[in-house]
């Protein structure tokens, strides 16, 4: 006697068969990414890397691996999506196709804030382009798969479920322990390991619903991975393909959080007490404090292209005689002003505390206000302290441009 489907439920077929078909559909569009950087030796035989090696002789060597997925073909090029941190610092980027062929790739555009980048390769022989899905249609407990190149071992597929549809994860863009941005992500329990970064998260229909980017790698934590929702990624990717960078309102300040400054000053007092720099904190970059690590091993997402620097941990460059009223406990110290900020009169050691009547206590709040509340060309009123006196200035926000 035949069975029947209970009222209200939809028969979807064998999930394993759907997974096999979905993986087969997308896999030909998945590539491995090789980040090659210049390594050399300077005077005295010391090892030089990246920009330091450019001045002398050196050789290109593999500095990191990641993954990517082809989402578009146009005018003889195939466009690959990956993470910014996968290609950061690369002198040369190569893409490895599923048939093992290695092709040189060019960086079309990259964006550190969203941790996204677009590469291009010759489209000869590229027959499969991944279908872009709808991340807003995802449901809790829905099966998803992460495809990529973990540990450089070649293509791998892991499966899990959507744990959280929308989660906000604090990150340190410059990997200096300062939480200066928040990334909206999908949380999954599919295994995401080093090398999976930049690869696609797909649903059982074989559609890309996310770009795998981070995991929590703390001791005792298992199966907590994150992917950038494809609906959030696509507007950025389209802009990167069109102009190579993302246009955002531009203020023009290098900054340091006041709270971080006070913390480093306190550690300086402790260093005086013990006659040394405790744990190497004075004027140095601190260890990651975000708790969320990308699958290349850190929560770094790169330099903010809008604020020329978003809290680099350069307290050593800030005057130790900062003058503020006793009740001012939060704000953003200006380490350097350029562009619109310089024209408006902002200077070294000014402490920004307010935008348009909204309190600004951290670099993250500064960025979030600019990017969510303002547009290029808008005016903004800035309240700041200089030598203990509250001042105000107005300026017109500029437009971010691609870095040389």
Other beta carbons less than 10 A from residue 22's beta carbon: 22
Which is the catalytic residue, given 27, 163, 197, 290? 197
Other beta carbons less than 10 A from residue 16's beta carbon: 11
Judge whether 85 counts as a catalytic residue.
yes
Report the C-alpha gap between 176 and 131 in whole angstroms.
37
Judge whether 321 counts as a catalytic residue.
no
> Could you tell me if 160 and 144 are in contact, meaning their C-beta atoms sit under 8 angstroms apart?
yes
Number of alpha helices (DSSP H) and beta strands (DSSP E) in the chain: 7, 24
- Name 247's Cβ contacts closer than 8 Å, sequence gap at least 6: 239, 376, 399, 400
Q: How far apart are the first and last CA of the chain?
A: 71
Report the C-alpha gap between 257 and 263 in whole angstroms.
10
- Name 373's Cβ contacts closer than 8 Å, sequence gap at least 6: 356, 358
Helix/strand/coil for 157 = strand
DSSP letters, 314-370, are -GGGS-TT----TT----EEEEEE-HHHHHTT--TT-EEEEETTEE--SHHHHHHHH
Judge whether 378 counts as a catalytic residue.
no
Which is the catalytic residue, given 32, 67, 111, 115? 115
Report the C-alpha gap between 176 and 191 in whole angstroms.
26
Q: Which residues are catalytic?
A: 85, 115, 197
């Amino acid at each position: 006697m035949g069975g029947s489907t209970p009222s209200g439920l939809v028969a979807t077929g064998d999930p394993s068969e759907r997974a096999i078909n979905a993986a087969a559909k997308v896999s030909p569009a998945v590539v491995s990414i090789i980040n090659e950087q210049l390594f050399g030796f300077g005077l005295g035989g010391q090892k030089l890397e990246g920009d330091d090696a450019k001045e002398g002789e050196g050789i290109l060597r593999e500095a990191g691996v990641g993954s990517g997925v082809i989402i578009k073909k146009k005018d003889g090029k195939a466009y690959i999506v990956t993470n910014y941190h996968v290609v950061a610092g690369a002198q040369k980027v190569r893409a490895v196709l599923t048939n093992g062929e290695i092709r040189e790739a060019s960086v079309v555009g990259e964006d550190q804030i969203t941790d996204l980048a677009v590469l291009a390769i010759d489209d000869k022989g590229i027959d499969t382009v991944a279908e872009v899905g709808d991340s807003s249609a995802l449901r809790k407990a829905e099966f998803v798969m992460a495809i990529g190149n973990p540990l450089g071992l070649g293509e791998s597929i892991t499966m899990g479920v959507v744990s959280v549809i929308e989660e906000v994860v604090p990150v340190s863009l410059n990997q200096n322990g300062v939480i200066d941005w928040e990334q909206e992500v999908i949380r999954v329990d599919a295994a995401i390991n080093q090398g999976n970064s930049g690869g696609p998260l797909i649903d059982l229909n074989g559609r890309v619903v996310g770009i795998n980017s981070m995991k929590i790698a703390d001791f005792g934590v298992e199966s907590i991975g994150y992917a950038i929702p494809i609906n959030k990624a696509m507007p950025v990717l389209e802009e990167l393909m069109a102009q190579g960078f993302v246009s955002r309102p531009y203020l023009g300040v290098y900054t340091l959080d006041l709270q971080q400054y006070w913390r480093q000053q306190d550690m300086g007092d402790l260093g005086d007490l013990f006659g040394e720099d405790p744990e190497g904190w004075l004027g140095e970059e601190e260890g990651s404090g975000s708790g969320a690590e990308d699958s290349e091993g850190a929560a770094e997402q790169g330099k903010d292209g809008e604020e020329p620097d978003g809290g680099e941990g350069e307290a050593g460059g800030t005057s130790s005689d900062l003058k503020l009223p006793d009740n001012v406990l939060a704000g953003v110290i200006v380490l350097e002003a350029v562009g619109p900020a310089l024209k408006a009169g902002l200077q070294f050691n000014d402490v920004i505390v307010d935008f348009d009547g909204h309190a600004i206590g951290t670099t993250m709040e500064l960025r979030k206000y600019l990017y969510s509340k303002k547009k290029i060309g808008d005016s903004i009123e800035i309240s700041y302290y200089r030598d203990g006196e509250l001042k105000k200035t107005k300026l017109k926000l500029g437009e971010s441009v691609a870095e040389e």
